[in-house]
Amino acid sequence: KTLAAINCDMIGEDLAKVGSYFYATQTPHSRPSFLNDLIGYFVRLADRLPIVELRGSKGPFNYRIVPYTGGSDHYFFNDASIGVPSTMLGHAPDPYHHTAQDTPDKVDPTELRRVCFIALGAAWFTANAEGEQAERLLSEMYSGSVSRFSGDVSKAEAAIRAASSPADLHAQVKRALSLLHWAAEREESSLQSLNVLVKTAPARTAITDVIGSFKKFEQIRLDDVKQVYATQCSRLRISPAPVELTREEWAARRIVPIRSESFKCPLRDEYLTEKLGRKVVESMPGLSGNAAWEVVNFIDGKRNVLDIYEAVSTEYDGVTLEKVQNYLQLLEKAELVSLSRK
């Protein structure tokens, strides 16, 4: 029944002594949640309010809201086998972390108070959100979704404008439409996640209405992207072409991975080597780190291999369909995943 987790790891550092900044991570794309905009709201509120401690610094709040990164306990909560959206509050870079110089004199009471305000404020809000408060959060979430989706649109349009050949242009459009499809699904799922906090019919209706408004906005921006594509086609003196799947992509659509019930929590990168042997793993170059972790997180018994590849490749660079297929085959050899062929 856990709604969210807020992981405080190495908080309250003296920014001047350590040379760091405060950061709050977002949840991974596989775990879209109200938590991202809620934490973002309290981070910005902490920056606006005069939160200081008598014996602390009087300096400005140097903060960043960053994409998902692992390295601490929130990594486990966000895993699909647990499924609790979790953020991490911390500081970086930190040359003293896990050293003998990681001592209390590196703590700034003002910074500690700011971070505690963010964590406790978000936790209190999550536990009590209803009525007017839920509506306020929904408004904040809609603004966040519009902003993030607009950023993805700008990225897609820039790639299309940069295409210098017909083949490259068609490839970039195909990539752009995939990016925006998964970006829209991420944002719609994030808005939908607010339903876990509300209990009344009017509140649920408000969420449905906001999702409808976002879908309309999404369509307008998609039309903008298609217009950019048409303009580039005119510049290159070619006709727009329909998006078509390759033979490999059609084949990937017919395979649906299913996670073993005994496969709980994240998988260490070294596990497959220990289980299958180095030669087997090296013969099938796949993925590692967060990208590999996200591949597993997107396995839900419904998404096919192509879906999973497209979703993860919009989040992390260097992800190819071949690498995703190789990784899934290694998981199947290790009896962690079964590949159901339609």
pLDDT in tens, 256-294: 999 999 998 898 889 999 999 999 999 998 899 999 999
Candidates 46, 42, 29, 39; CA nearest to 4 is 39
pLDDT at 312: 98
- Token digits for 250? 């059609």
C-alpha 92/C-alpha 22 separation (Å) is: 7
Work out the average pLDDT over 193-209: 93
pLDDT at 269: 80
Residue 131 pLDDT more than 80?
no
C-alpha 227/C-alpha 224 separation (Å) is: 5
pLDDT at 302: 96
Are 193 and 212 within 8 A, CB to CB?
A: no
- Token digits for 277? 């042997």
Bridge partners, residue 66, by sequence: 25
Secondary structure percentages of the chain, helix, strand, coil, to 5: 55, 10, 35
Residue 156, number of CB atoms within 10 A of its CB: 25
pLDDT at 272: 95
Concatenate the DSSP letters of all residues of 71-83 into one string.
SSTHHHHTSTTT-
Query: What pTM was computed for the model?
Result: 0.93
Residue 61, number of CB atoms within 10 A of its CB: 18
Concatenate the DSSP letters of all residues of 243-282 into one string.
----HHHHHHHTEEEEE-TT--S---HHHHHHHH-HHHHH
Residues 6+ apart with CB under 8 A from 294: 28, 29, 30, 311, 312, 315, 316
Bridge partners, residue 259, by sequence: 337
Residue 198 pLDDT more than 80?
yes
Bridge partners, residue 25, by sequence: 66
CA distance to 25, 104, 241, per residue, from 108 (Å): 21, 9, 58
